[in-house]
Structure formats: structure tokens, C-alpha cells
Amino acid sequence: MNKEILKKYARLAVRTGVNVQPGQLLVIRASVKDSEFIEYCVEEAYKAGAGSVMVNWSDENITHMSYEYQSLETLCEIPDWMEEKTKWEHEKKCCYLSVASGTPGLMADIDQEKMRKSMIANMMKMQKYQAYTMNNMGQWSVVALPNPRWAKRVFPDKTEEEAVDALWSAILTSVRVTEDNDPIEEWKKHDERLASHCDILNAHQFKALHFKNSKGTDLTVNLVKNHIWVGGGCRTPEGVFFNPNMPTEECFCMPDRNNVNGKVFASKPLNYSGKVIENFWFEFKDGVVVDYGAEKGEEAIKTLLETDEGSKHIGEVALISYDSPISNLNILFFNTLFDENASCHLALGRCYPENVEGGIEMDEQQLAEVGGNSSMNHVDFMFGTADMSVTGIKEDGTEVTVFADGNFVI
């Protein structure tokens, strides 16, 4: 990719994504393979006034080797300094930029139990620090870069070089970066559009949404009382505006964890902990997954559901028109950051407290009382289709068509 486009994308990630403030600490999580892009991000952050920038480098092949060669005991041993480091970053009121470029399915050959147990050990130790980003206490943002293996997965018929170019082009289209535009201005307009959609949904205060399509999905999702639809950028308690996901096309809300009923069929594969799950479905009763199936990767679903009680309930429902820029590319990215923005989705696991009035100040118990879900997981899966209908049901039983033939009609 040419230098100028890379710099433009880095500028967008730093200014519009994480929006680092003067004097602030920026922590970047990235792959060693993306060092050129990261260098541009660091430079842009200092130009924006960042106090300091720290980069946490990783390499997915080395991560794979850790799972392959380390004993389970060693994998579950999370050093105290790791906790101390995170605590220190939060006390410093840092912001986080993650640059994702992982290979989907890379961990497919790793023993599922080993992976599950070490992930749980990690989450148990670090769980109390998740609230920082989940509650938007500091800015955070995720952007993606292609890598050759990921590109070949998305475009198997192209040569490696052509595949990388094609994935670059798809990513740049999704994040609204072109040779001759100002993507920062584009994102201002985009954020305003998403906000206006959320305003309409918030004014309706639907009691429930009913989803139906020809795939077999027939699902009623109740929403918590005083819910807040959120889309596009967010604000920290200090009022700093940032975009957590680039790209983003969704308006999302908080379902009632105990009031989801019916069957839902996934419309895209899910890449979960390095395994690809295909053609799967869930059946819900009173909010709990009571049955499920998959053509491929059923074991990984079991792992996911058995993580904790909250993993069997949903914490997020998101609406995205089928006719959206990412969906129109008609590409399966095998990466949730992109695929979730091409399609309506649900997330098994924890809710976003910002989706209910006063949610940010609630503890886990209070959130549970209003119907919010808690879990160590938050795993999105896609179920939107071109023929999806969504009906909003109001408190008095009145019905409003929200989606017809896959798209917003309100």
C-alpha cells in the first residue's frame, strides 16, 4: 500500500478513532508485521499532543506456539505484573488503539480444552479491568490491516499479492478512505447519520423486536426498559468523542437477558477463538440458549456457551441495513469487525451498560435487575439477511415495521 494512503489511514485511526488528547497516554496493541503503519500512528499521536505512546507488540505465530508448546499450567499462570500494568494504565487515564490483522482460523489445530481453560484463567484475572473500555471510561478504538494469509482466506482464487490488494481495497472502502477524500470529514457526516437513526428508535421505546426471515429465524427479543440505542461514536465521562469500531454501521441496544424467545439462524460463519463455526443456530427460551446446532465447529459453540452462565444469554442486539457499504462489497471477511457491520447481529455475553439509562453507574447486580447481562464473553454473531423483517412491538401492543426486505424503513 502506498505511503500516503497508509498515513491517511493512520491519521483517521488516531484522530477520529481513538482521538488521543493532549498529554494523554496512548497504548497501541499491534502485530510486529504492521510496524510501518504503527510508526505512522505513533507520529500522528505525538502530533495530536499525546503525552506518551506505548506499543504492545505481538506475533500471531508466536501466540500459536505458546498454545501449542506450553503446558496448561504455564498458560494459566498470569503474572501479577500484567495486572499491575493494566491498573497503572487505567490510573493514567490512557486510551487504547488496537490494530487487528490476525489470520482467521489460525488456532484451529489447538486443543479446544487447553485453549478454553487458559482463556478463562486470563479473563478471571483481568475481568475487573474490562469495565474501563466496556463503560467507555477512556477512549478505545479497533482498526484492521490486511495480512497475506487472511487475504487468501477471503480471496482464495487470487494470487497472494492480488488478494492483499483486494483486501486492502475492501478495508479502505469500509472505513471511507479514498485517494482524494478527507476521511475525517466523511466520518463526521457518517456519525451524524447513525445518531439520527438511533434517535428515531429511542423515541419509539419498543418493548420488543420480532425478527423473521426465510432461513427459519423467528425470534422475539425484548428490550430493557429505558433502553438507549447507540451508534457511531461515543463519549468518555469527560466528553471526549471517539469511534470504538472502524468501520461501524450499527445501531445497537440492550436486550432483556431473560426475555428472548424463538429460533435464530446465523447468516455468516463466526470466527471464535481461532475456530470457524459455520451454519449454526440457537434456540432461546426465556432468554437462555436451550438448544443449538452447527454444520461445522459445534465444539467451539459448546466452549463458548459453557464459559459462564451469562454466555448462554444475549447482551446486545444490533440493526444494520442489508444495503450498507460493507454488505454491498459482498465479501465474507471472516473477521467480526467487518462482518458484524454487514448484517444484523446478536452478541452472546455481556451487555454494554451505556445501552440503558443510568447503566454506567450500575453495578452488576443492578444491571441484572433491569435485565442487563454479565459475562466474561461478548461474542457477536450475524443473522441479518436480504429478506429480514423486523417488527417493533410497543408497550400497548401497537406494531411498527422497522425493517422490510433487510433494510430500515423507519
Point out which residues bind Zn ion (CB under 5 A): 250, 252, 316, 318, 347, 380
Question: Measured from the CB of residue 342, what is the shortest distance to Zn ion in angstroms?
Answer: 12
Contact between 277 and 300 (Cβ < 8 Å): yes
Give 16: exposed, middle or buried? Use CB within 10 Å, 0-12, 13-18, 19+. buried
Question: Measured from the CB of residue 85, what is the shortest distance to Zn ion in angstroms?
Answer: 26
Identify which of residues 304 and 318 has a Cβ nearer to Zn ion in the complex: 318
Q: Which three cell numbers stand for residue 264?
A: 435464530
Neighbour tally for 88: CB within 10 Å: 12
Taking CA 72 as the corner, what is the angle to CA 67 and CA 78, rounded to the nearest 5 degrees? 85
Identify which of residues 250 and 256 has a Cβ nearer to Zn ion in the complex: 250
In 255-275, which positions are buried (b, 16+ CB within 10 angstroms) versus exposed (e)? Answer: bbbebbbbebbbbbbbbbbbb
Q: In angstroms, how far is CA 164 from the centroid of its own chain?
A: 23
Task: State how far the Cα of 273 lies from the Cα of 301, in Å rounded to an integer.
Answer: 10
Identify which of residues 163 and 367 has a Cβ nearer to Zn ion in the complex: 367
Question: Measured from the CB of residue 188, what is the shortest distance to Zn ion in angstroms?
Answer: 21
Question: Measured from the CB of residue 263, what is the shortest distance to Zn ion in angstroms?
Answer: 21
Task: Identify the DSSP state of 245.
Answer: B
Task: State how far the Cα of 348 lies from the Cα of 190, in Å rounded to an integer.
Answer: 27
Identify which of residues 67 and 383 has a Cβ nearer to Zn ion in the complex: 383
Identify which of residues 44 and 316 has a Cβ nearer to Zn ion in the complex: 316
Question: Measured from the CB of residue 387, what is the shortest distance to Zn ion in angstroms?
Answer: 21
Identify which of residues 228 and 347 has a Cβ nearer to Zn ion in the complex: 347
Phi-psi label, residue 383: left if phi above 0, alpha if psi -120 to 50, beta otherwise:
alpha
Question: Measured from the CB of residue 340, what is the shortest distance to Zn ion in angstroms?
Answer: 5
Identify which of residues 44 and 372 has a Cβ nearer to Zn ion in the complex: 372
Give 192: exposed, middle or buried? Use CB within 10 Å, 0-12, 13-18, 19+. exposed
Question: Measured from the CB of residue 373, what is the shortest distance to Zn ion in angstroms?
Answer: 12
HSE at residue 11, side-chain half, CA atoms within 13 A, is 14
Question: Measured from the CB of residue 320, what is the shortest distance to Zn ion in angstroms?
Answer: 9
CA torsion 363-368-373-377 (nearest 10°) is 50
Length of the chain: 410
Identify which of residues 86 and 377 has a Cβ nearer to Zn ion in the complex: 377
Partnered with residue 25 across adjacent β-strands are 52
- Give the phi and the psi of residue 258 in degrees, each rounded to 5: -105, 10
Identify which of residues 48 and 234 has a Cβ nearer to Zn ion in the complex: 234
Contact between 50 and 25 (Cβ < 8 Å): yes
- Give the phi and the psi of residue 140 in degrees, each rounded to 5: -150, 150
Which of 307, 316, 305 has the alpha carbon at shortest distance from 122?
A: 307
Identify which of residues 339 and 380 has a Cβ nearer to Zn ion in the complex: 380
Identify which of residues 24 and 385 has a Cβ nearer to Zn ion in the complex: 385
Question: Measured from the CB of residue 31, what is the shortest distance to Zn ion in angstroms?
Answer: 22
Question: Measured from the CB of residue 382, what is the shortest distance to Zn ion in angstroms?
Answer: 10
Alpha-carbon distances, residue 3 vs 6, 141, 147 (angstroms):
5, 22, 17
Question: Measured from the CB of residue 48, what is the shortest distance to Zn ion in angstroms?
Answer: 27
